[in-house]
């Protein structure tokens, strides 16, 4: 099936602590990918990652893909300053979209709640999403080669979706990318601290879930 290029992609990326700051910067690669492919961008960055902004955009623009970054629990994704951003109160606004949640534990319950509310497909993590990082690079997250090992596989979900791949295929490609990173971390020239990094990559891969319509695509 041919895919028209003018889709609307919504991103949330709060940046109020170390972890969200990493997600904020690594998502810029996805913003560029989406822009290069001719998609429309809704970028709820920093203090814009709040319910009022999100709900308004969802109602008015009805994005085909929502990429939600932030801390999470089994029932909630948090926006700026840990304010609940996605929970039972606003799932109906997400109907008809594909959703990728780069947050902890939301795949355990919230993901299924989203699908029940009409989200086409939900990709996320059923337990904690682990970030490994270089303490020397925290002010320059995109230069952090340690963070690269977990951020590249997770970015691959969105890159694949932006290419028109199905939710199941995007998940599969992300897992394949995780395995590639794990192979590098098990090689003879692996960086210092590779075993800890390997554990992060493996854990994220193991708990990555794809719920809803497996063949859904933008």
Phi, psi of 38 (to 5 degrees): 85, 15
Q: Which residues pair with 68 in a beta bridge?
A: 12, 101
pLDDT at 5: 64
Inform me whether the pLDDT recorded for 1 exceeds 60: no
Q: Is residue 141 within 8 Å of residue 147, measured between CB atoms?
A: yes
Domain ranges within the chain, ordered by starting residue: 8-211
Confidence of residue 2 (pLDDT cuts 50, 70, 90): very low
Rg (CA), the chain: 16
Number of neighbouring beta carbons within 10 Å of residue 35: 12
Lowest-confidence pick of 18-27, 109-118, 185-194: 185-194
CATH fold group of domain 8-211: Rossmann fold (3.40.50)
pLDDT at 132: 96
HSE-CB at 194 with a 13 A cutoff on CA atoms is 12
Number of neighbouring beta carbons within 10 Å of residue 17: 11
Mean of all residue pLDDT scores within the chain:
96
136, burial (CB in 10 Å: exposed 0-12, middle 13-18, buried 19+): exposed
* List of E strands, 92-176: 98-102, 121-125
Over range 183-211, report the average pLDDT. 96
């Amino acid at each position: 099936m041919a895919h028209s290029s003018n889709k609307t992609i919504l991103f949330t990326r709060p940046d109020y602590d170390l972890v969200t700051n990493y997600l904020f910067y690594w998502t810029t690669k996805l913003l560029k990918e989406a822009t290069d492919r001719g998609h429309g961008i809704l970028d709820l960055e920093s203090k814009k990652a709040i319910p009022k902004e999100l709900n308004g955009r969802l109602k008015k623009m009805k994005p085909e893909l929502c990429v939600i970054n932030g801390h999470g629990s089994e029932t909630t994704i948090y926006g700026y300053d840990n304010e609940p951003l996605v929970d039972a109160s606003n799932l109906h606004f997400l109907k008809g979209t594909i959703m990728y949640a780069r947050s902890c534990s939301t795949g355990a319950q919230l993901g299924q709640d989203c699908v029940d509310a009409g989200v086409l497909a939900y990709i996320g993590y059923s337990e904690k999403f682990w970030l490994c990082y270089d303490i020397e690079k925290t002010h320059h997250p995109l230069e952090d080669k340690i963070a690269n090992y977990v951020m590249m596989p997770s970015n691959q979900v969105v890159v694949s979706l932006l290419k028109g791949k199905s939710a199941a295929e995007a998940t599969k490609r992300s897992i394949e990318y995780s395995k590639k990173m794990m192979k590098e971390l098990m090689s003879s020239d692996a960086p210092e601290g590779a075993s800890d990094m390997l554990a992060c990559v493996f854990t994220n891969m193991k708990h990555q879930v794809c719920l809803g319509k497996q063949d859904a695509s933008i």
